[in-house]
Amino acid sequence: MQKHKTEFDAIVVGSGPGGATVAMDLAKQGRKVLILEWGDNNPKKGTFSSMVTRALIPGRSAVMTSQGLPVIRAITTGGSSVIFCGTAFDPPVDMLKKYGVDISAEFEEMKGDLPMVPLPDELMGPGPKVFEESAGDIGFDVKRLIKFIDPSKCKLNCQRCMYGCPYGAKWDARDFVDKAIENGATLINHAKVNKVIIEDNKAVGVEYRNNKEIFLAYAPKIIIAAGGIGSPLILRESGMQSTGYDFFFDPLIFVYGKVKGLGCGKSVPMSSGIHFPEDGIVLTDFNLPRMMKVGFDLELLKVKQAFLYKDILPIMIKIRDGLGGTLTNNGWIKKPLSKNDVKRLDKGAEHAKRILKNAGATDIYKSWRTAAHPGGTVKIGEQLDSNLKTKFDNLYVCDCSVVPEEWGLPPTTTLVALGKRLAKHLFALESPTREEDLAISMPAFKQTDVTRLAAAVS
C-alpha cells in the first residue's frame, strides 16, 4: 500500500478539462497540488478496446437514461477529453456575464496554450468535404470548425480521435495534467473521491478510495472537477443535497445516407458545421468510428446497415435541450426529452436529410438518440457564487456542472477558460490586500499526511 507524505496547497478532484486547467495553473505558480483521478493513466493506444474500458462500462462510464439514451463519459486521466472530437466552440461569454462571470480574457489566453485552428483542406476526408459542399450548395451557413488539433501531427483517413489520439495531434486534458506534474503536482490514479470533509462549515480535505482502501487527504483549497455527473454525487455526500437536478445533456442523433463513390468512411469527426442558434440545433459531419456505428445500428436492430461503412455519410444533429431531470444517488439519469426537444431533433434531421439528398444519397436513415455533455448540475447562481465557490468555505467546483443555463454547444473551451479564471481567483485570495478576508475565511493550514482510515471496502 502506497502512503503519501506530502503537504498540499490544493486538492483537485478529477482531471478533465476543468480540473486539469486549474491544477496546471496552480502548479505553474508554485502551489503544491494533489490531483485525485478515479480512472487509469494508461497510454493512449487509439484502439476501440481502450475506449471500451474507459468510456463504455455500464454503470461507470456509460449510463442509460430513463428513456434509453446512452450517456457516456471517459473515466481516465484527462476525462472525456481523451475521447472527445476536439471541436472548440466559443464560450457563452454573454450568458456567463449575466452571472458575474467574465471569461473573455481567459478565452484569449488559452489560445496561446492550445492548438485551435480549423482543419486544412488536405486533412478533410471525403465525407466532410461532401457535407460541406452539399450544405453550402443548399444555402446553409456551413463553416469549417475550430479544432483542438495540431494539423502537422494529424493523419488523413485516420479515425482515432475518439479512441484517444495516439499521435499527439488532438489536444486533450492529459497535456495539462502532464504540465501540472512537470511543475510539481502529484497525480494519484484509481482514487475515487467519496466526499469532502467539512469542519465548521469549511472544506478541509477529501475522503477517497484507492485500491479498496479509504484515505483522507487535506488541503486548504478543494476543487471538485469530477464532471457533470461526478461532481454533484460527491457534493451530495458532502451535504449539498440540492445538486444534480434540472440539468442539460445535449441530446444528439445521427442521420446516415449512402453516397455512391464516396469511398473511405474515415476522417476527423466534426470538421465542418452549421449552427442554428435560435432553434438550438447544430449539424456537423460525423464520421464515427466503425465499431461505434455498428453499436448504434444494432441498437435499432439495423443489422444490414451495421455492416455498411464505405460510402456512408453520417451527419450529427445535436440540440439544446431544456433544463430538467434528476440524477439518482447511484449516478443514473432520469431525464425524459420534452416535446420541444424531440421537435428540435426532428427539425435537425430534416435539414440533414436535405443535405444528404442534395449530395445524391440514398438509403437514408436515423440513429437512436444519445447524449454527451451532461452539465448544469451544480449551477453558478444557485449552488455556486460567481467565483465557483460553494456554500462551504474553501470548496470550489470547476467543470461542466457549473454552467448555469442550457446552452447546447460543446463546452471544453468554456471549461478551460473557467479553470484559468478560478486559478487566478485563488491567487488573488492569497494576495496581501485580502489578508483580512483570509483570516476570516481560511482554516488553520491542516496539511497532514494522507491518512489511511479503513481497509477492505468492497
Ligand X SMILES: Cc1cc2nc3c(=O)[nH]c(=O)nc-3n(C[C@H](O)[C@H](O)[C@H](O)COP(=O)(O)OP(=O)(O)OC[C@H]3O[C@@H](n4cnc5c(N)ncnc54)[C@H](O)[C@@H]3O)c2cc1C
Name the residues that contact ligand X, by CB under 6 A.
Answer: 13-19, 36-39, 72-73, 75-76, 79-81, 83-87, 162, 192-193, 225-228, 230, 234, 270, 372-373, 399-400, 410-412, 415
Strand boundaries in 244-311, DSSP class E: 245-247, 251-258, 272-276, 281-285
CB closer to ligand X out of 256 and 286: 286
CB closer to ligand X out of 162 and 395: 162
All three cell numbers of 394:
474553501
CB closer to ligand X out of 361 and 377: 377
Q: Which of 396, 446, 403 is nearest to 424 (CA)?
A: 396
Other beta carbons within 10 angstroms of residue 17's beta carbon come to 31
Closest approach, Cβ 158 to ligand X, in A, equals 16
Closest approach, Cβ 228 to ligand X, in A, equals 6
Closest approach, Cβ 198 to ligand X, in A, equals 16
What distance lies between CA 19 and its chain's CA centroid? 11
Closest approach, Cβ 84 to ligand X, in A, equals 3
- The percent helix, strand, coil of the chain (3-state, each to 5) is 30, 25, 45
All three cell numbers of 61:
462510464
Closest approach, Cβ 122 to ligand X, in A, equals 21
CB closer to ligand X out of 148 and 259: 148
CB closer to ligand X out of 16 and 361: 16
Strand partners for 451: 216
Strand, helix or coil at 177?
A: helix
Closest approach, Cβ 358 to ligand X, in A, equals 25
CA dihedral 257, 263, 268, 271 (to 10 degrees): -60
> Is the Cβ–Cβ distance between 348 and 316 less than 8 Å?
no
CB closer to ligand X out of 394 and 401: 401
What sign results for the dihedral spanned by CA atoms 275, 67, 335, 239? Answer: negative
d(CA 111, CA 283): 25
CB closer to ligand X out of 14 and 164: 14
CB closer to ligand X out of 81 and 183: 81
d(CA 156, CA 291): 19
All three cell numbers of 346:
426532428
**Count of alpha carbons within 13 angstroms of residue 145, beta-carbon side:** 28
Closest approach, Cβ 268 to ligand X, in A, equals 10
d(CA 338, CA 349): 17
Closest approach, Cβ 137 to ligand X, in A, equals 25
CB closer to ligand X out of 238 and 394: 238
Closest approach, Cβ 384 to ligand X, in A, equals 14
Burial of 293 (C-beta count, 10 Å sphere; 0-12/13-18/19+)? buried
d(CA 174, CA 164): 11
Strand, helix or coil at 296?
A: helix
d(CA 407, CA 92): 8
Nearest residue (beta carbon) to ligand X: 16
What does DSSP say about strands 10-13 and 222-224: parallel, antiparallel, or unpaired? parallel
CB closer to ligand X out of 11 and 337: 11
Q: Cα 319–401–168 angle (5° rounding)?
A: 80
CB closer to ligand X out of 124 and 361: 124
